[in-house]
Amino acid sequence: MLIKPFWVLGIDRSVQNLAGTIQYGNYISLFNLSLLFHFLLDLGLSTYNNRQVTLNFSIIRKSIRYIIAIKSVLAVIYFGLTSLLAAYLSYRYNDIFMLSFFMLNQILISYIFFQRSNISAIHLFKTDAVFSVLDKLIMIVLSSLLIWGHFIEFQLKYFVYTQTIAYAISAIIISIVVYSKSKPKETSVYKSETKGLIKNSLPYAFMVLLMTIYMRLDILLLTHLLPNGEMYAGIYAQSYRILEAASMFSILFAHWLLPIFTRLLSDSKNLNSIINLSFFVLLIFSTIITFGVFFYHQEIMHRLYQNQTNESAQILSLLIFSFIPISINYIFGTLLTAGGKMKILLLVSFFGVLISIASNIILIRRLQGLGTALAANILYYTIAFFQIYFSIKTFHIKLNTKKVKRYFIFLLLIIFLGIILKSSPLVWIINFCIFVMLGILLAMALNIFSIKNIVLLIKEK
Mean pLDDT of the chain: 88
Phi, psi of 51 (to 5 degrees): -65, -45
Distance CA 110, CA 76 (A): 13
**So what's the pLDDT on residue 65?**
77
Between these two residues, 131 and 182, which has the higher pLDDT value?
A: 131
Residues recorded for the chain = 461
Distance CA 26, CA 13 (A): 15
pTM equals: 0.89
Instruction: Compute CA distances 457 → 57, 307, 314, 436, 449, whole Å.
Output: 33, 43, 37, 22, 12
- DSSP-derived 3-state class of residue 399: coil
Region of poorest pLDDT, from 8-22, 158-172, 255-269, 307-321:
255-269
The pLDDT of residue 331 is above 90 = yes
Q: Which residue in 414, 408, 404 sits closest to 442, CA to CA?
A: 414
Q: Is 127 exposed, middle or buried (0-12, 13-18, 19+ CB in 10 A)?
A: middle
* DSSP code string of 106-138: HHHHHHHHHHHHHHHHTT-HHHHHHHHHHHHHH
Distance CA 312, CA 369 (A): 8
Instruction: Compute CA distances 22 → 54, 313, 425, whole Å.
Output: 48, 17, 36
Contact by Cβ (8 Å): 147, 15: yes
The predicted-structure confidence for 72-127, as pLDDT tens digits, reads as follows 999 999 999 999 999 999 899 999 999 999 999 999 999 998 888 888 777 777 88
Distance CA 417, CA 397 (A): 33
Q: Tell me the domain boundaries of the chain.
A: 36-189, 198-461
Distance CA 240, CA 91 (A): 24
Task: Name the percent of the chain lying above pLDDT 70.
Answer: 91
**So what's the pLDDT on residue 54?**
64
Q: Residue 51's Cα: distance from chain center in Å?
A: 24
The pLDDT of residue 195 is above 80 = no
Q: Which residue in 375, 221, 245, 231 sits closest to 312, CA to CA?
A: 231
Contacts from 176-182 at CB under 8 Å and sequence distance 24+?
A: 177/115, 177/119, 177/127, 177/131, 178/64, 178/115, 178/118, 178/119, 179/64, 181/60, 181/118, 181/122, 181/124, 182/60, 182/61, 182/64, 182/118
The predicted-structure confidence for 332-362, as pLDDT tens digits, reads as follows 998 998 888 889 999 999 999 999 999 999 9
Q: Which residues of 258-290 are buried (b: 16+ CB within 10 A; e: fewer)?
A: eebbeebeeeeeebbbbbbbbbbbbbbbbbbbb
The pLDDT of residue 189 is above 50 = no
**So what's the pLDDT on residue 320?**
97
The predicted-structure confidence for 69-82, as pLDDT tens digits, reads as follows 888 999 999 999 99
* DSSP code string of 28-40: HHHHHHHHTTGGG
Q: Is 446 exposed, middle or buried (0-12, 13-18, 19+ CB in 10 A)?
A: middle
Between these two residues, 303 and 121, which has the higher pLDDT value?
A: 303
Going by the DSSP 8-state scheme, the letter that residue 190 receives in this structure is P
Q: What is the mean pLDDT of residues 256-277?
A: 82
